[in-house]
A and B are shown apart, each in its own frame.
Chain A
């Protein structure tokens, strides 16, 4: 048990986040949207854990629950032996020094009326009581860490490109020297050439500061490159989890396979090559109460899949490869 505590920086156990779906004139709660439905995973120190899945599958819900930005319905989140979901406001403030968040869109996550310098110094003033020349020094140091020239200190976000803004967002997060950073689609709003710069920067920072990441993305190629362990989500559940390379080499869950087949391939190179038809969209009506959440889209589904929900289980052949599918 002790070794287990040391190994994992963050543990999420049976996390459930339900949103009420209100109907009718009196907004009666008719049903619940299960944004996270029994999610369990652990992130080791210094590791990068990836969450992939289509939009609306619950990735961001999990991220927000970890930061206590959303009330969880049930479950347990442990960060450094602190029970996050039971923590009081004072404890949460402590936690938010150690856990930070990088958002998808740097255009909306930076305040347009605050200069680059003030954006980065604000968390230092609030949480660390840093003032005067020390503050200036720290800001300068952070800017150079993320590869932004000191000339930008008095500029406003609108004077920066998308990539520069994302770097500023990263500098702001680093200001508090967090142990753990949640990166919620940090590169989906930027161009290819900027994406590679940002991903490399995040890798460098991880090495320098010994950071642990939770990396959320819809792009399997980015996740495979960036993460150590990847979990694939579907409708609020983790359906498969494996080391990044392993997941791509031997995907087990039919949903993972359809995600991989949907990646446009550069090599294949020509439209004459037959492109596999992908599965259909997420079902919009929540009749997911029984059975495997994927059974609507699955060609392998049988009676058992319709009636009983498969749990995430370790594969017999591969250690560390988990899948929730009756057919695997």
Chain B
């Protein structure tokens, strides 16, 4: 059923990077699908492989450093991994667009914002410069920039961080993509600007019906904005569910640990709970379940140390990869 109305379906995606010291497993058997007009949240700590998944979908893993070693990415009926570079170029920025974390680094400082929006429109929509500029002004208005006529001929440094991110969203959505990948879109921004940008994404989604892959390290953002959330740890999805279930009743000890480690308003605790140890180094992943060295005591056993659990559906629409989760065989 999920196959029918899903826009993007990632199946068993594995990505490796080749360093001098050896192979780094960046993503391992990652599977998820995103339905039309829905937001899928991918959460995890730095280095867990979130961005590798995003780059794989865009086919932007640098060829000299890494490679997609297995799996399938079905988008709109075709496997993206089988397309030629030329075919892929027609999809990138057109049907699938991406917004990165750092707005200052994503915009070209020597071109005006208008040039940068119009470029995408001219390239993908076959419009001449005047038409594209007109459309660009319209896009700026759409993303909530006041006085778009003046702003369009400004350079990125003349804008605040929040406004730059709005301009990037204008570039990304100018060709009405079916899927927008937002890779930590608000991490470099203030709390209040963050809310505004996320509200803007919600609004654009309502207007155009695009799907959003929202990558974030902030559990709160995922809880508030996503229809389905997957938690990644050491290159794997360890849990996937509706956020209401995931955050109220986590099944994987890692999800549980993350939630407990967050300070919350109105909670007068003296100490925060911590997950012991440090995040597993991608180069030297432990055997078996990658989380077992940090798992709460008394839970992991020989089995966890030897065998790596696969992501399995334990309840309808609840997926987890833990030998000790209720219902997991």
Contact = CB atoms under 8 A, between A and B. Distances in A.
A45 interface: no
A281 B224 contact: no
A193 B220 contact: no
B272 interface: yes
Interface residues of A, number: 51
Contacts of B191: 54, 218-220, 259, 262-263, 278
A260 interface: yes
B222 to A, nearest CB: 8
A266 B278 contact: no
A226 B143 CA distance: 37
B147 to A, nearest CB: 13
Given A265-B220, A281-B160, A222 B192 contact: no
Contact of B196 (A164, A273, A278, A282): A278
In the complex, which of the residues A200, A203, A266, A279 has the most CB atoms of chain B within 10 Å of its own CB atom? A266
Interface stretch (B103-111, B124-132, B242-250): B242-250
Given A54-B191, A259-B192, A196 B224 contact: no
B195 A199 contact: no
B279 A193 contact: yes
Interface string B38-82: 010000011000000000000000000000000000000000000
A199 to B, nearest CB: 6
Interface residues on B, range: 35 or more
Given A193-B257, A203-B270, A264 B220 contact: yes
A192 B224 contact: no
B274 A200 contact: yes
Given A203-B270, A265-B220, A281-B162, A271 B226 contact: yes
A225 interface: yes
A195 B192 contact: no
A266 B162 CA distance: 24
A224 B198 CA distance: 24
B265 A196 contact: no
Contact of B223 (A164, A203, A221, A265): A265
A270 interface: yes
Given A248-B265, A264-B224, A266-B264, A192 B219 contact: yes
B261 interface: yes
Contacts of A191: 45-46, 217, 279
A225 B261 CA distance: 12
A200 B243 CA distance: 28
B273 interface: yes
Interface in B264-313: 264-275, 278-279
Nearest to B245: A269
Given A221-B262, A221-B264, A245-B268, A262 B274 contact: no
A266 B265 contact: no
Contacts of B217: 191-192
A266 B45 contact: no
A193 B267 CA distance: 18
Given A161-B278, A163-B278, A225-B272, A279 B226 contact: no
Contact of B261 (A195, A248, A262, A265): A195
A275 interface: yes
Interface of A: 54-55, 161-164, 191-197, 199-200, 203, 218-222, 224-226, 245, 248-249, 258-271, 273, 275-282, 284
